[in-house]
Amino acid sequence: MVIHSFFSALKVFPFLFLTYLLLEWLERKSSEKSLNLIGKAGKWGTIAGALTGLLPQCGFAAAASNFYAVRAISLGTLMAVFLTTSDEMLPILISNTVEPILIVKILAIKLFLGIFFGLLCDVVFRKSPLPVDVETLCVQEDCHCAGGGIVKPALFHSVKITCFVLLVTLALNSLLAILGEDFLSEIVFNRPILGPITSAFVGLVPNCSASVAITQLYIDGAMSFGSMMAGTLSGAGVGLLVLFRINHNRNENLKIVAILYVSAVVSGILLDFFY
């Protein structure tokens, strides 16, 4: 269990390191004007975020959380990444020889919903673009990076967040081991409305076990299509962990979780109704 938790956290490290390298480079090498263009990408940023989130690796959600914390991307772009991220869903579908047309359909629906809710967030919660602020992050994390190169502070941030992810992942894996392997199977029901509500809640668990269980339950016929989609839509992996660790506005973080959860539940219920 310890080894599994270690490697789960280690997978995130390269994404964090590259993210912080880019943030440090942007802060030191780019002009203020070009730096803040990232935050003004508008709908194109949301579309790009949704496409990136489709890749079977929750490290992109962790990277998006860091970019959002320094206001390099909008709330809509962050939400698009979170909604399209599905952790271990795609590998599980492929390993179970699920029909390619169904896999494409699932990914297409996630992409559409990620873009839709992302754009909706940017419209409803429209704010004047804030300047990208990497310096505040450095002060909060006490990285002592002033006057040095970009590798040392990037490495400092990455190691610190990876250790945090490791501790939480270890705690979650321990809890799941105590509760038993059938725990998720017993609390996720194949029922209208209740299924998506419960599945989306399980999907919020920042651990790959949630996405594996949800996807496998669907393949085994123990969960409806809408419930499976709700669980994988809310499953942003370690993205939420990193968001709460980096972004110190707790109320804003809770609002993001609420938007993510409601979007997943509504989508799941509608998919069960129309699918």
What is the predicted pLDDT for the residue at 60? 77
What is the predicted pLDDT for the residue at 139? 46
Contact 67, 248 (CB under 8 A): no
Mean pLDDT of 204-208: 76
Confidence tier at 159 by pLDDT (50, 70, 90): confident
Distance, in Å, from the CA atom of 202 to the CA atom of 200, rounded to the nearest integer, reads: 5
Domain extent, residue 138, equals 2-274
Tokens 């489709």 correspond to what residue?
A: 54
What is the predicted pLDDT for the residue at 217? 79
Running DSSP on this structure, what letter comes out for residue 187?
A: H
* Closest by Cα among 266, 250, 257 to 236: 257
The mean-pLDDT minimum among 12-26, 81-95, 172-186 falls in 172-186
∠ CA 268-272-275, nearest 5°, is 120
What is the predicted pLDDT for the residue at 31? 43
What is the predicted pLDDT for the residue at 1? 56
Identify which has the larger pLDDT, 271 or 125: 271
Mean pLDDT of 140-164: 64
What is the predicted pLDDT for the residue at 34? 41
What is the predicted pLDDT for the residue at 229? 94
Is 90 exceeded by the pLDDT of residue 267? yes
What is the predicted pLDDT for the residue at 258? 96
User: What's this model's pTM, rounded to 2 decimal places?
Assistant: 0.73
Q: How large a percentage of the chain has pLDDT more than 90?
A: 24
What is the predicted pLDDT for the residue at 113? 96
Distance, in Å, from the CA atom of 76 to the CA atom of 69, rounded to the nearest integer, reads: 13
Q: How large a percentage of the chain has pLDDT more than 70?
A: 66
What is the predicted pLDDT for the residue at 188? 54
What is the predicted pLDDT for the residue at 256? 95
The mean-pLDDT minimum among 48-57, 96-105, 194-203 falls in 48-57
pLDDT digits over 30-71, tens only?
Answer: 444 444 444 555 677 888 888 888 876 666 788 888 888 887
pLDDT digits over 212-261, tens only?
Answer: 778 877 887 778 899 999 999 998 878 888 888 888 888 999 999 999 99
- State the burial class of residue 32 (Cβ atoms within 10 Å of its Cβ: 0-12, 13-18, 19+): exposed
Mean pLDDT of 186-197: 73
Domain count, the chain: 1
What is the predicted pLDDT for the residue at 5? 61
What is the predicted pLDDT for the residue at 32? 44
